[in-house]
Structure formats: structure tokens, C-alpha cells
Structure 1
Amino acid sequence: MATAGTPWMWTLGALITALILGVTEDTRENDGSGSRIINGSDCPPHAQPWQAALMLQHNQLYCGAVLVAPRWLLTAAHCRKRIVRVRLGHHSQSPVYKSGQQLFQGIKTIPHPGYSHPRHANDLMLIKLNRRIRETQDVKPINISSQCPPAGTSCLVSGWGTTSSPQENFPRELQCLNITVLSTDKCKEAYPGQIDATMFCAGDQAGRDSCQGDSGGPVVCNNTLQGLVSWGDFPCAKPNRPGVYTNLCRFTKWIHDTIQSNS
């Protein structure tokens, strides 16, 4: 069965105003279909201290990312940009400085060498920060799971992506959504010929999904980082079209070895 619409990858294009974001479509950086996280809710303060925002100039958020070590982020490979500004510890997308916020420059981006576009296999990338983070209740790394998630696992996805699709409406506060890992068979049924071992599908009832602007953000299961927001169908949150996430359990050795060799 052919997929409906255009596959997306969640990437935010630019702030339409100081508080409202715009999104480009193509992957989740330029392809996207996503949701407010659609039908999610405001994350509790301090609940996602590993959540990072990747920014262009003038506080334009374009992707999410995850803090996995004192100087290292993980994000989607399709979020790669020449210049990366990073914001951690900021629950709101307001450009106004808030207590707890830490700002960084990405000085090195290392996409997985097997990343392929437009298939989006191996969709992960490491970003080295210009200095170590100062660990606080607002900013701290998360461990990566070495175990692949079985079907039925309950997880939490977060991001500042659009809260509606195809119309775009971006939230001021970080959004959280509970999703459930689907079986490989269900995932392949939803996207015939497009799923491999570097991906897993997760969703909930119709109308709940991640979306444009959420790319590269964390999927946390059992208090460990299990995946990254990668791609999906457009519009987001369509029945039988779950979100597709980078399956990080397949990459723990590459992540560890790459950090070690570039420290």
C-alpha cells in the first residue's frame, strides 16, 4: 500500500514572530509532518532536562536534540546545519532569557556515515558543544538504552513542534506526549518498503503524534533514551500512519566510540 501524502521529517524553519515558529517541509528538517506534538500537553517544569533546542540566527528554532554527555548532543542527521546554536534548560520558546537557561555553540557535527536521504536510515548525528554543560535541575544528560524496545512499551516524546497539521500552530511551552511502541509488522504495514532495523514506529490513538519541528527530539522509555524523532506521514496524526523514530539501541557502540575519538 502506498503511503498517503508526503513523508516528513520534523524541522522548524523560522520564528514567524518572536513567539510563533515557522516550519519548512521536506524531512523533519525539511521534510515534515508532525504534531504539537499533536494533542500532547505542556511538559512539567524540569521533567525533560536533556531536551535541547537547535537554533538558527534570531532565535529561530529548527530542530530538537538530546543531551547525552556533558559536551555532546544527539539529534537527527537530517537536522545538520553549517552553524548550530544550542539552547538548554529553557522550557518556553520565548526569546526572553529565563533562569536556568544555558547557551552553546555546536563546534562539530558528526552525522552517522550510513545516513541516507530520502530513505532516512541511520538518522542520527552527534553535535559537540563548545564547552561542558553545568549540570542543574534544568540541564542534565540522559543515558541511552542498549535494549531495543518491544512492542507495547510506553514512551514519552517531547518537542516544540506544531500542534496541528496541516495548518501550523506552534506552542510556547515544551510539549509532552505518551506514545506506545508498535510491532515491526505493524510498522512495515503502515510504510511498506520504507522500514528497516534502524527505525521503530510508535503512536497512540488517532490524532496523537509528533510533527514538524520535533525532529531530533527525544523518545524516552523506562527513563532511558530510546529514540529520536525522525519522520512520518503528512499531515501528521493520521490513522494508521504512526511516527517513525531512530532506533538508538542499534547505535550505542557507534555513539560511544565517536564521542571517545572526538573528545
Structure 2
Amino acid sequence: MVTFLILIAVLLFIGSAPVNVHAEGCGIQTAPLNTDQAGIDIVGGNPAQEGEWPWQAFIQDGDTTYGGVLVDPEWVLTWPATNDLSGTKVSMGSNNINNPSSHLQTRTVTQRVTHPNINGYDFMVSLLKLSSPFTITDYVRYICLPEPPIISFPPGTTCTAAGWGSTSESDMDYNNELLEVDVQVE
């Protein structure tokens, strides 16, 4: 439910930022989806194929790491971590952060725009403006954002989550490799 609230907040918020949310060429995957994921927990997952989630961004903010999605060549949608942007980097194009492919691109962050109505988890979303636009390739693309009206997904709908999150509930460090897992909407 929080995810859908965040999506609604994103759509309301995105209208106030200079992001082209319906650009041609968004949301194109260059690798086929990996459908062999039955019975995997959210903290687990399988390695994603290179180019399967080309809008997935890896963000390093000091000692904190988190994910985001490219919504425009110059803007990344994420959560509001810190206001200190010195040293914040966004990497895209490679599924392995410690052993990057030749497709890796990295940019620094020059501005963070946080939703003005943030309140706990409500409207917990921000945009990061990059020092220069990412070059759009088969491995770096921006995601399409839905047009209103916002469609709800009924319980039981299968969605895919992707990121560099923990591989177990006891280890909360990020994973070096982009993982994906199918989850059911509750």
C-alpha cells in the first residue's frame, strides 16, 4: 500500500518539476525478463540480466546507498535521504557495482527537490538533478510514468521489484549485484 501512495505522490509531485514523464522511448527493456523466480523472498532475488532494468539507478550518498529510477536523462526519482549533496553519485548502466561493465555511467548530484508535503511515509519522494544528462543507450534508459487516472493493481497481481538491497533479513548491507524478485500485491 505504501508503494501505491508513493506512486500517487510521485505523480502529483512530478508535475511541479521539469521532467518529461511521457517521452518517446521510455520504458524499453533491452534484455528479456527473467521469469525463473518462483518461491524467492523479497530480500532474496535473482541476478538481473544486463539491460533488463535500464532505468534502475544506484545512488551513493556518503556511507548510505539506495536505489532510484531515471525519469528523464537529467533527473532521478528516489527517496529523500539527506540534504548534503557533496559527494552524492548516481551510477547506471551496470548491474554490478564492484565489477562494473563497460556500460557504466556515473554523475554527481547538483540539486535535491523533496516533496513539500512530506510527512512520515506520506509523500516520501524526491528528485535528484544530475550534473549532466545520462547518455541514453541500451543499458541506460528512463522509465515511463503512468498518465492519470492512476490505475490500482488488485491484490494478487504479480509485480517485479529490482534493486541492490539485502540478500537476507539479518544482513542489511547492499548487494553488489542488481537483483530482481516477483512479489504479490497485497
Q: Same fold (TM over 0.5)?
A: yes
Q: 1 CA distance for matches of 2:64 and 2:95?
A: 13
Q: CA deviation at 1:180?
A: 1.9
Does the CA-based 8 Å contact 2:69-2:78 persist in structure 1? yes
Corresponding residue for residue 32 of structure 2: none
Amino acid aligned to 1:80: T
2:84 maps to a residue whose letter is R
Aligned-partner residue type, residue 66 of structure 2: C
Matches of 1:67 and 1:37, distance apart in 2: 22
RMSD of aligned C-alpha atoms?
2.1
Query: Which residue does 1:224 correspond to in 2?
Result: none
Structure 1 partner of 2:92: 88
Seen in structure 2, the aligned counterparts of structure 1 residues 125 and 45 have a Cα distance that, compared at 3 Å, is same
Paired with 1:125 and 1:139, the residues of 2 have a C-alpha distance of 20
CA distance in 2, matches of 1:172, 1:47: 16
* TM superposition score normalised by structure 1: 0.50
Paired residue for 2:182? 178
**Count, aligned residues:** 142
Task: Say whether 1:51 aligns with 2:56.
Answer: yes
Q: Which runs of 5+ in 1 are unaligned?
A: 1-34, 183-263
Would you say the 8 A contact 1:36–1:171 is kept in 2? Answer: no
What is the CA–CA distance in structure 2 between the aligned matches of 1:133 and 1:167, rounded to whole Å? 32
Which residue number in structure 1 is paired with residue 145 of structure 2? 144
Report the equivalent of 1:99: 102
Task: Specify every segment of 5 or more residues in structure 2 that has no aligned partner in the other structure, as ranges.
Answer: 1-39
- Deviations 1:106-165 (CA, angstroms, capped at 9, x unpaired): 11100100111xx31101101111111111111000111232332233211111111111
Deviations 1:15-63 (A, max 9, x none): xxxxxxxxxxxxxxxxxxxx98412111111101000011135xx5511
Per-residue deviation, residues 46-101 of structure 1 (Å, max 9, x unmatched): 101000011135xx551101001111110012x2341221111120020x443001
Once the two structures are superposed, the pairs formed by residues 212-223 of structure 1 within 5 Å of their partners are none
Alpha-carbon spacing, 1:36–1:104, altered in 2? closer, same or farther (3 Å): farther
- The equivalent residue for 2:67 is 64
| Aligned mates of 2:153, 2:93 — CA distance in 1 | 31
Distance 1:97 1:160 in 2: 14
| Inter-CA distance 82–137: structure 2 relative to 1 (3 Å threshold) | same
Q: Tell me, yes or no, if the aligned pair for 1:40 and 1:176 is still in contact at 8 Å.
A: yes
User: What is residue 131 of structure 2 aligned with on the other side?
Assistant: 130
Q: Contact (CA 8 Å) 2:96, 2:177: kept in 1 or not?
A: yes
SS at match of 1:68: strand
TM norm structure 2:
0.69
- 1:193-232 equivalences in 2 (<5 Å): none
What residue is the counterpart of 1:8 in the other structure? none
- Residue matched to 1:235: none
CA distance in 2, matches of 1:63, 1:134: 21
Is 1:71–1:133's contact at 8 Å kept on the other side of the alignment? yes
- Partner residue in 2 for 1:114: 117
Mapped contact 1:54–1:87 kept (Cα < 8 A): yes
- Kept after mapping to 2: 8 A contact 1:36/1:175: no
What is residue 208 of structure 1 aligned with on the other side?
A: none
**1:27 counterpart residue number:** none
The question of whether the paired residues in 1 share the 8 Å contact of 2:42 and 2:183 is answered with: no
